[in-house]
């Protein structure tokens, strides 16, 4: 029998029971002396830019945890028409990627409380953020970690995908 394919674990950051599961996962990574990389985002329509970014983020350490904005958070940040896919589907798609080691769905508009909880070794955002403005930078640096940015692939964005769909299917 061939080895079964599994997805990365998916947690929410909504209650103490889920937070305890996440804590145990993080503790195991720490005890194995692995470098934990953290990034976050909406990841509404996964595209080549996302996949490349996540691969690069994972290659900066030994494990990648992805914070995924909950549906309520996305609506506050992006408007009532978003997200296009619900948080469970977005998390499951990301959990299936080889670069992903863990997913956490969070309800706040920023991942600050999640970053304070897990204290990653490396915090990563896209190059559209300046390092000085990355949420959680002070927490990570105070604990000896690094904050880095990764360049985007030009012409790859969720907005671009949506615009292409609208253009091609509404004319």
Give the dihedral of Cα atoms 14, 134, 86, 116; nearest 10 deg: -10
β-bridge partners, 148: 124
Alpha-carbon span 79 to 73, nearest angstrom: 10
Beta-carbon-side half-sphere exposure of residue 87 (alpha carbons within 13 Å):
20
For residues 114 and 88, the answer to whether their CB atoms sit within 8 Å is no
% of the chain surpassing 90 pLDDT:
80
pLDDT average, residue stretch 78-92: 96
pLDDT of amino acid 69: 98
- Model confidence pLDDT, tens digit, residues 103-162: 999 999 999 999 999 999 999 999 888 999 999 999 999 999 999 999 987 777 777 788
Q: Which residues contact 151 (CB under 8 A, 6 or more apart)?
A: 126, 127
Q: State yes or no: pLDDT of 171 exceeds 80.
A: no
pLDDT of amino acid 3: 81
pTM of the model: 0.93
Domains of the chain by start residue, with CATH: 10-169 (3.40.50.620)
């Amino acid at each position: 029998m061939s080895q079964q394919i599994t997805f990365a674990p998916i947690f929410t950051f909504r209650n103490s029971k889920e937070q305890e599961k996440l804590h145990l996962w993080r503790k195991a990574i720490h005890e194995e002396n692995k470098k934990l990389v953290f990034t976050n985002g909406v990841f509404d329509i996964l595209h080549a830019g996302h996949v490349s970014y996540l691969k690069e983020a994972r290659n900066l350490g030994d494990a990648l945890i992805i914070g995924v904005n909950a549906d309520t958070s996305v609506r506050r940040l992006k408007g009532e028409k978003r997200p296009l896919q619900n948080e469970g589907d977005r998390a499951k798609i990301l959990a299936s990627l080889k670069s992903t080691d863990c997913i956490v769905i969070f309800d706040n508009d920023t991942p600050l409380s999640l970053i304070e909880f897990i204290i990653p070794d490396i915090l990563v955002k896209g190059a559209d953020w300046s390092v000085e403005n990355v949420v959680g930078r002070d927490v990570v640096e105070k604990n000896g970690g690094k904050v880095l940015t990764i360049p985007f692939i030009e012409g790859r964005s969720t907005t671009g995908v949506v615009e292409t769909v609208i253009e091609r299917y509404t004319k």
